[in-house]
Amino acid sequence: MNRTLKTLGITVLATVVAAVATLLLVRDQIDRHQRDLFSPSPRRRLACLGHLARAEPTVDHITLLRDFVAREPRKLLRNRARVILNRMESQAAGIGVHHRRLD
């Protein structure tokens, strides 16, 4: 019985440690992607826009995209950011959110 409890305890502890490590790794990757929005590399900026396109529309993301649109020299990236920005602003304002009527 003691051996089983000891094994179970070690397994639970290892699972918790792995979950925390995964959480920290994911958080670091998200922060890194957001910093890449102002990278000198156009490919990194495009990848970051792809990441932001899947993100929730928050005030921080909207402000970040507005700054990016104002500073981006490449038309393709600027237009992509505008599309994402317009969608986020619409979602944040409640426009474009479809409500189902319950009849």
3-state secondary structure 53-75: HCCCCCHHHHHHHHHHHHHCCCH
15's enclosing H/E stretch is helix 2-35
Q: What is the pLDDT of residue 33?
A: 65
Residue-range domains of the chain with CATH? 2-93 (1.25.10)
Q: What is the pLDDT of residue 23?
A: 84
Which residue type, as a one-letter code, is found at position 94? G
- Give, for all 103 residues of the chain, the pLDDT tens digit: 688 888 888 999 999 999 998 888 877 776 666 668 888 989 889 988 988 898 888 888 899 999 999 999 999 999 999 999 999 999 988 855 443 444 4
Q: What is the pLDDT of residue 63?
A: 92
Which residue type, as a one-letter code, is found at position 1? M
Q: What is the pLDDT of residue 87?
A: 94
Q: What is the pLDDT of residue 47?
A: 87
Strand intervals (E) in the chain = none
